[in-house]
Amino acid sequence: MEETLWYVAHTRPRCEKKLADFCKREGYAMTLPLYKSVKKYRGKVVTFHKPLFPGYLFLQLQIPQRQKVYQSDYVANLLDVPDQKEFAQQLEDILRSLELDVEVRLAPTIGPGTKVLIKSGPLRGMEGWVENRSGPTVVLLRLDFIGQAAAVKVDASQLEPV
């Protein structure tokens, strides 16, 4: 059996969910991190599930499957991931944070900061970078390959410099 590798699909505008549906139909392993967005409209509360990383879908494919993904018409570019292990670990940390009851938001730019290990709480064991220290500390769970990050709020007492 051929090796399965991570790829990052840079999608056409607002085509993340369409590409995810295409991949499901084709039986391709894919990951589309979504976060909840709650809006109030004239007394109604509506919950949306929006892509955490707009314009990106993460795929696990065998090399011959790449061409079919390109043919879906939802992909602008399919990027090779050079460090498979690091990418998988970073993505797993972000997905775990989305499953837990913590606030997660997109942090599109990765700024300089102190690398930290979260030593307690639901995110224990994850590594991130401190974004700011006003109020609860904002820690970035980075996905270095696409230069983006998910920001989570963590109490400073739960952090330890790495």
More confident residue, 71 or 132: 71
pLDDT score recorded for residue 134: 58
More confident residue, 37 or 87: 87
pLDDT tens digits, residue range 113-150?
778 888 888 998 998 887 765 567 788 888 888 989 89
- pLDDT bracket for residue 34 (50, 70, 90): very high
The single-letter DSSP state of residue 147 is T
Domains of the chain: 5-81 (3.30.70.940), 86-161 (2.30.30)
Sign of CA dihedral 59, 5, 162, 159: positive
Name the E strands within the chain. 5-11, 29-31, 34-41, 44-51, 56-61, 75-80, 104-107, 115-118, 127-132, 137-143, 148-154, 159-161
Query: What is the amino acid identity at position 81?
Result: V
- The pTM score is 0.77
Instruction: Tell me which of 36-40, 59-63, 73-77 is least confident.
Output: 36-40
